[in-house]
C-alpha cells in the first residue's frame, strides 16, 4: 500500500502593508498558505496611519467609515478592534452654514427610523441651508440617482456635476448636499467626479439601507488598529511581516521571484501586488494586464489636514461640517491624540480635493484657516493657539474623474499566481478603506480559487473560518 505524499504547503508574498495587503495576507494565511508580507515603510497601515509629534499621536488624516462599509468593519472585527471604533446609532451630521455677512446657522443631516428614502425626509424638510424648492429638488435628484444602474458604462462617461444639472440641481443643492457628502467621500467636486462613482456612494450610503450612512471613526489613533493590532494578528496567523522591505523586482516564473531592495530574494506560488498603481506599473511583468501601460494615466487627488490646538474647548460634538466657508469638516482629536494640556482642545480640519492648497507654506495655511475657524467658531477669537501644523497627502486617492472605471484592473492578471489589490483596483468603490479591504479579499479569493477554500462574502464582510 502506498502512503499518500503530503501536499507541499503553498506560498505567497504580499507586496504592500496597507489595508488591502493586510487583508490579502490574513486571508491567505488563514487558508494555510505560507505568507510573507513586505512593506517598504517602517509601519503597516499604508495611507491610514499615525505618527508621533512630541507627546501627541497624530493621524495623517482623519478617516471615517460608514455602517455600509461591511468589509472594512469585518476587518476591524477580524483584528479584534471593534471596541476601538465608534459607530453612530443614527446618522447625524451637524452642518454649520456661514452667510456672506458672517451670520451662522446650524443645519442637521439626520436620519429617522423610517425606510429609505423616508429616513432622510424629515431632516431634509427642515434643512436650513436649502430653500423649500431646493429641498424638493434634492428629493427628485435622489430618486433619479436611486434608479441608476451602476453597471451602465455610460455613467462613467459624464461628470456628476453635469448629471446633477440635467436633473434639475442648483448650485445651492450641490454645495449644501451633493458636494458636502461627495467631496469628503470621493475627493473631488461633482464637476470632476465620474457619475458612476458618485452614484455608488449615494446609492450605497444614502439610498440603500436606512442605517448605511451612520458614521464610524476610530476612537484611538489609526496606527493602534492598522499597525499594532494588524501586525499582532498577522503574526498570530503565521504571516512573516517584513517592514522597511521594498520589493524592487518581480520575476514571473515557477515559483515567482520577488527581489527586495538590499538583495533578499523571496519565491512564492502567489504574489499579490497591493501597492498603489505606480507599484503595479513598476513591478508587473510586461503584458500581464491589458492596458497596464495606461496605469500612469491615473490621476491622483490630495487631502490636507490642518491641525490646531487651542487652549480651550471650542466644539462639543465629535465633528461638524461647514458650508459657505473653505473649511469642510472639523473633528475633535483631543482624546485620540493623548493631548495632555488641561482644558485644551485639538481640532483637525479635514480638507479634501484641495489641489490649490496642498503645497502652500504652513504660514499661509495658518493665515487662511485660523481666521476662518474664528468666523465659524466665535469662541476661537479669544482662544490662544498652542500649536498649528499640517499633514499633506498629495496622492491620497486616485482621481475619480470620468473615465476612471475603464482604467481600473480586476484582481486577476494574465500571469497565473500574480494578483492585484489596492483601493485603486476595480472594486466599484471610490478610493476608500472599504475599497482597499474588498480588493484584498478579491485577490485572496482569486488566489484560493479551486483550493476548496470558500470565497469571502464581501457583502457582509464575513471571514471564512
Ligand atoms: C488623508 C487621507 C484621508 C483619507 N480619508 C479616508 C476616509 O475618511 N475614509 C476612507 O474610507 N478612506 C480614506 N482615505 C483613503 C484610504 O486611506 C485609502 O484608500 C486606503 O487606505 C488605501 O489602502 P491600500 O491598501 O489600497 O493602499 P495603501 O494604503 O497605499 O497601501 C499600499 C502600501 O504598499 C506599500 N508599498 C508600495 N510599493 C511597495 C513596494 N514596492 N514594496 C513594499 N511595499 C510597497 C506602501 O508603502 C503602502 O504602505 C484617506 C486617505 C488619506 C491619505
Q: Is the CB of 75 under 6 A from ligand 1?
A: no
Closest CA to 79 of 290, 247, 232, 279: 232
**CB–CB of 436/158 below 8 Å?**
no
Rg (CA), the chain: 23
In ligand 1, the atom with minimum distance to the C-alpha of 21 is 25
Question: What is the distance in A from the centroid of ligand 1 to the CA of 47?
Answer: 3
Do 394 and 312 share a structural domain? yes
Question: What is the distance in A from the centroid of ligand 1 to the CA of 16?
Answer: 9
Under DSSP, is residue 53 helix (H, G, I), strand (E, B) or coil? Answer: strand
Q: Is the CB of 187 under 6 A from ligand 1?
A: no
Question: What is the distance in A from the centroid of ligand 1 to the CA of 275?
Answer: 8
DSSP 8-state class, residue 224: I
Do 348 and 321 share a structural domain? yes
Do 317 and 289 share a structural domain? no
In ligand 1, the atom with minimum distance to the C-alpha of 38 is 43
* pLDDT given at position 117: 81
293: domain CATH number is: 3.50.50.60
Q: Is the CB of 61 under 6 A from ligand 1?
A: yes
Nearest CA to ligand 1 atom 49: 46
Do 150 and 190 share a structural domain? yes
Do 288 and 228 share a structural domain? yes
Domain-located, residue 80: no
Closest CA to 389 of 96, 65, 51, 94: 51
CA–CA separation, 361 and 312 (whole Å)? 26
Under DSSP, is residue 80 helix (H, G, I), strand (E, B) or coil? Answer: coil
Strands (E), 70-226: 85-87, 92-98, 104-110, 215-218
CA–CA separation, 38 and 59 (whole Å)? 22
* pLDDT given at position 99: 94
pLDDT in tens for each of the 465 residues of the chain? 556 666 789 999 999 999 999 999 999 999 999 999 999 999 999 999 999 999 999 999 999 999 999 999 999 999 999 999 999 999 999 999 999 999 999 999 999 988 888 889 889 999 999 999 999 999 999 999 999 999 999 999 999 999 999 999 999 999 999 999 999 999 999 999 999 999 999 999 998 899 999 999 999 999 999 999 999 999 999 999 999 999 999 999 999 999 999 999 999 999 999 999 999 999 999 999 999 999 988 899 999 999 999 999 999 999 999 999 999 999 999 999 999 999 999 999 999 999 999 999 999 999 999 999 999 999 999 999 999 999 999 999 999 999 999 899 999 999 999 999 999 999 999 999 999 999 999 999 999 998 888 899 988 888 987
Do 288 and 261 share a structural domain? yes
311: domain CATH number is: 3.90.660.10
Domain-located, residue 18: yes
Q: Is the CB of 17 under 6 A from ligand 1?
A: yes
Domain that holds residue 241: 11-49+221-298+402-448
Domain-located, residue 194: yes
Domain-located, residue 213: no
Count up the domains in the chain and report the number.
3
Q: Is the CB of 400 under 6 A from ligand 1?
A: no
Q: Which of 164, 183, 206 is the last residue of a domain?
A: 206
Q: Is the CB of 205 under 6 A from ligand 1?
A: no
CA distances from 428 to 156, 261, 309, 423 (A): 11, 33, 38, 10
Domain-located, residue 97: no
* pLDDT given at position 8: 87
Q: Is 121 exposed, middle or buried (0-12, 13-18, 19+ CB in 10 A)?
A: middle
Which grid coordinates are listed for 331? 473633528
* pLDDT given at position 464: 86
Do 125 and 192 share a structural domain? yes
Determine which helix (DSSP H) or strand (DSSP E) holds 63, and give its type and residue range.
Answer: none
Do 225 and 201 share a structural domain? no
Q: Is 158 exposed, middle or buried (0-12, 13-18, 19+ CB in 10 A)?
A: middle
CA–CA separation, 33 and 328 (whole Å)? 44
DSSP 8-state class, residue 159: B
Residue with cell 464637476: 191
Q: Is the CB of 40 under 6 A from ligand 1?
A: yes
In ligand 1, the atom with minimum distance to the C-alpha of 245 is 43
CA–CA separation, 282 and 286 (whole Å)? 10
CA–CA separation, 257 and 329 (whole Å)? 45
- Residue 139 has a CB neighbour count (10 Å cut-off) of 15
* pLDDT given at position 75: 97
Domain-located, residue 184: yes
* pLDDT given at position 2: 56
Amino acid at each position: 500500500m502506498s502512503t499518500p505524499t503530503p501536499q507541499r504547503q503553498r506560498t505567497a508574498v504580499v507586496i504592500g502593508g496597507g489595508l488591502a495587503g493586510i487583508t490579502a495576507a490574513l486571508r491567505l494565511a488563514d487558508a494555510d498558505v505560507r505568507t510573507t508580507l513586505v512593506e517598504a515603510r517602517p509601519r503597516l497601515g499604508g495611507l491610514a496611519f499615525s505618527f508621533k509629534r512630541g507627546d501627541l499621536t497624530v493621524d495623517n488624516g482623519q478617516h471615517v467609515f460608514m455602517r455600509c462599509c461591511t468589509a472594512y468593519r469585518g476587518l476591524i472585527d477580524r483584528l479584534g478592534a471593534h471596541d476601538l471604533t465608534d459607530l453612530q446609532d443614527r446618522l447625524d451630521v451637524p452642518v454649520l452654514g456661514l452667510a456672506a455677512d458672517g451670520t451662522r446657522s446650524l443645519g442637521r443631516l439626520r436620519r429617522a427610523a423610517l425606510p429609505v428614502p423616508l429616513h432622510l425626509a424629515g431632516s431634509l424638510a427642515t434643512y436650513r441651508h436649502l430653500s423649500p424648492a431646493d429641498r424638493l429638488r434634492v428629493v427628485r435628484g435622489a430618486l433619479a440617482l436611486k434608479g441608476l444602474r451602476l453597471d451602465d458604462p455610460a455613467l462613467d462617461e459624464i461628470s456628476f456635476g453635469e448629471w446633477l444639472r440635467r436633473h434639475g440641481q442648483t448650485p445651492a443643492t450641490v454645495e449644501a448636499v451633493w458636494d458636502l457628502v461627495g467631496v469628503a467621500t470621493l475627493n473631488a467636486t461633482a464637476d470632476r467626479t465620474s457619475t458612476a462613482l458618485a452614484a455608488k456612494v449615494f446609492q450605497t450610503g444614502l439610498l440603500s439601507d436606512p442605517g448605511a450612512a451612520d458614521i464610524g471613526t476610530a476612537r484611538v489613533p489609526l496606527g493602534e488598529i492598522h499597525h499594532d493590532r494588524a501586525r499582532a494578528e498577522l503574526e498570530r496567523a503565521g504571516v512573516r511581516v517584513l517592514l522597511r522591505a521594498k520589493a524592487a523586482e518581480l520575476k514571473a516564473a515557477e515559483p515567482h521571484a520577488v527581489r527586495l531592495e538590499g538583495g533578499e530574494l523571496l519565491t512564492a506560488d502567489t504574489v499579490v501586488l497591493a501597492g498603489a498603481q505606480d507599484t503595479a506599473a513598476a513591478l508587473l511583468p510586461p503584458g500581464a494586464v491589458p492596458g497596464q501601460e495606461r496605469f500612469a494615466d491615473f490621476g491622483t487627488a490630495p487631502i490636507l489636514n490642518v491641525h490646531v490646538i487651542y487652549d480651550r474647548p471650542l466644539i462639543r460634538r465629535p465633528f461638524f461640517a461647514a458650508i459657505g466657508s473653505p473649511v469642510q469638516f472639523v473633528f475633535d482629536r483631543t482624546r485620540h491624540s493623548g493631548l495632555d494640556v488641561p482644558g485644551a482642545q485639538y481640532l483637525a480640519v479635514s480638507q479634501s480635493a484641495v489641489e490649490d492648497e496642498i503645497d502652500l507654506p504652513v504660514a499661509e495655511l495658518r493665515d487662511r484657516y485660523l481666521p476662518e475657524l474664528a468666523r465659524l467658531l466665535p469662541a476661537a477669537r479669544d482662544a490662544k493657539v498652542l500649536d498649528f501644523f499640517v499633514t499633506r497627502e498629495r496622492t491620497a486617492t486616485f482621481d475619480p474623474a470620468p473615465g476612471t472605471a475603464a482604467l481600473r484592473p480586476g484582481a486577476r492578471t494574465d500571469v497565473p499566481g500574480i494578483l492585484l489589490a489596492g483601493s485603486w483596483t476595480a472594486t466599484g468603490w471610490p478610493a476608500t478603506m472599504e475599497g482597499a479591504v474588498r480588493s484584498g479579499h478579491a485577490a485572496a479569493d482569486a488566489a484560493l480559487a479551486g483550493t476548496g477554500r470558500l470565497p469571502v462574502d464581501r457583502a457582509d464582510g464575513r471571514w471564512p473560518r
